[in-house]
Structure 1
Amino acid sequence: MTARLHAVVDGPADAPVLVLGPSLGTDTGLFDAQVAAFADRLRIVRYDLRGHGASEVVPGPCTMADLAADVLALLDRLGVERFSYAGVSIGGAIGQQLALTVPERLEKLAIIASAAQFADPPSWAVRAQQVREEGTGFLESSRTGTWFTAEWAERSPGEAKRLLDMLRATPPEGYAACCEAIGAFDVRDRLGEITASTLTIAGAEDPATTPEMVRSIADGIPEAQFAVVPGAAHLPNATAPGVVNEALRRHVL
């Protein structure tokens, strides 16, 4: 079942389209810095994952193919045929799925802090069950060190709170369903099929999708580029936007 996604569209209507896919437990606000950098020359489509932000909550488990189908249904509603795509974490996994599913529609691909198979697949079903029972609150303390470094949080307490507020607002069923999609995702043996020009970006301090995990994506995709953001953890586009935006600018524009 396809979920109806909430989206925010910025930039000129006739400009090339860049779709931005968020990480688990965040919403369209994750990409404020990218909109500020690129909305003068690109039509930017930001979306909330199913069961996140203002998107529809669809009960039950889903797959990465389902999440990619949600995005394609959104783009069809918006009349977007060809697009470039940049996604963070699960958003980057959706990007890989799109590259395999609709290669003819994808111009450029940027995969940020993501994986072709996420670490410890069985743990995601366990997390999904715990979130369904307790909500997302128990995850908050672990986001420091995972989403961003403690040093960054000390320097930017307002931004850290803004990101954590997204997690607090995420419906438990939406978060849990996406956990199950992450646990089942594995395209390691299909990376060689991706034909889109691809950039991969890792946070040097990311414990969730380590630089080695991100590099393995680049190694598997023909002619893919690989970059590391110093001092950044799992949300480098939000915590080191200048570095990430420059890499995206060189790749997408």
Structure 2
Amino acid sequence: MTLTTLRLSKPFGRVTYCEAGRGAPLVLIHGVGMQSAAWQPQIEAFSTQYHVMALDMPGHGGSDALGGTPKLPDYVAWLHAVVAALDLGPVCLAGHSMGALISGGYAVTHPQRVARVALLNGVFRRTQAARDAVTARALEIRKGSFDLETPLKRWFGDAPSEQVASAKVAGWLSSVNLKGYADAYGAFADGDEEYADGFAKIPCPLLALTGALDPNSTPEMAQAMADAAPLGRAATIEGERHMVNLTAPEQVNAILADWLQTPMEERETA
């Protein structure tokens, strides 16, 4: 696994990503406060057959933050700049949480560049109460409030395996660029409706995967995303929360492996 730096023109600047393997391109985008290393179980599993590129989102890991106060379309434009600069053909694209919003938006706006898309623990058409809560949190973060314990308690249980994953996530959250974190959370807070109407026009196989115990990226949201897309499929992992790719890697990888083999012409059922 190699850490690579790509330098784009303004306004995107430096992009870092973990790269491994050969084959068809599989691009992975993490969530708010994380970094490309959060995809390690998937990089190890799929680099035997695919050219895996796990990107550091703007303002995360080694990637430069975006200027101003970016919104979700700015992150989608960033991803397009990366895909174009790397001269990638249609990619297999997977995103987690904020990365799922970016990936879904990219599949809507650049369908010719996406062979298939997987949305892990994504959000979709929040209730007003949920939107108000996440918007309030985004404002607190923008003002400089950094609460490490609350997301960890929400994302992880007490099992030893979950606490190992929690320690890794705590390290990434503790080292994140504060502007990059605030920017991404702000875009995450108001991005769940941005591309929702466009899901009906996504032509490729779409997987919406979440944990049954995730209170914010719910199984109902996953099913709604799958139902909105012509080739959509929803999957729920019982007993899991928000960081399923770290806490249930074998189950997630099995589902992703199936998604990677889904023929374009088939519509999957839940």
Could you state the TM-score of these two structures normalised by the residue count of structure 1? 0.91
User: What's the counterpart of residue 6 of structure 2?
Assistant: none
The offset of 1:58, in angstroms, is 2.4
Task: Kindly provide the CA deviation profile for residues 82-120 of structure 1, in whole angstroms up to 9, marking residues without a partner as x.
Answer: 211011111111111111111011001111110233453
Structure-1 residue corresponding to 2:12:
3
* 1:203 corresponds to which of 175, 200, 211: 211
Q: Deviations over 1:25-55 (max 9, x none)?
A: 1000110000110101100011111111111
Identity of aligned residues (%): 25
Contact 2:27 2:93 in 1 (8 A): yes
Tell me which residue corresponds to 1:129.
Answer: 139
Residues 1:68 and 2:76 aligned together:
yes
What letter is aligned with 1:49?
M
- The equivalent position to 1:39 in structure 2, one of 40, 47, 50, is 47
On the 8 A contact 1:2/1:69 being kept in 2, the answer is no
Structure 2 contact 161–247 (Cα < 8 Å) conserved:
no
Q: Deviations over 1:42-72 (max 9, x none)?
A: 0001111111111102243212211111112
Any gaps of 5 or more consecutive residues in structure 1?
A: none
User: Quick one: which of 211, 224, 230 aligns to 1:222?
Assistant: 230
Task: Name the CA distance, whole Å, in 1 between partners of 2:178 and 2:72.
Answer: 18
Alignment partner of 1:170 out of 171, 176, 192: 176
The 3 A distance-change label for structure 1 pair 32 and 190 is same
Distance 1:145 1:157, change over 3 A: closer
After TM superposition, give the deviation of residue 169 of structure 1 in Å: 1.0
CA distance in 2, matches of 1:151, 1:213: 26
* Aligned pair partner of 1:28 in 18, 21, 36: 36
Equivalent of residue 158 in structure 2, options 151, 159, 162? 151
Structure 2: runs of 5+ lacking an equivalent: 1-9, 262-270
Residue of structure 1 in register with 2:265 after alignment: none
Q: Which amino acid aligns with 1:182?
A: F
Deviations 1:3-32 (A, max 9, x none): 2321121112xx100000101110001100
Are 1:213 and 2:221 an aligned pair? yes
CA contact (8 A) 1:118 1:209 kept: no
Cα shift at 1:124: 4.0
Counterpart AA for 2:158: E
Query: Which has the bigger relative contact order, CA under 8 A and spacing at least 6?
Result: 1
8 A contact 2:121–2:210 mirrored in 1? yes
For 1:127-172, what per-residue CA distance to the aligned partner results, in whole angstroms no more than 9, with x for missing partners? 3332233353x1x211234322x233x4443331111111111111
Q: Which has the higher helix share?
A: 1
CA contact (8 A) 1:127 1:176 kept: no
Quick check: 1:96 aligned with 2:104? yes
Computed over aligned residues only, the root mean square deviation of the Cα atoms, in angstroms, reads: 1.8
- Whether the 8 Å CA contact 1:109–1:198 is kept in 2: the answer is yes
Task: Name the CA distance, whole Å, in 1 between partners of 2:187 and 2:142.
Answer: 15
Matched, 1:190 2:198: yes
Give the letter for the 2:51 counterpart: R
- Please, what TM-score do these two structures have when normalized by structure 2? 0.85
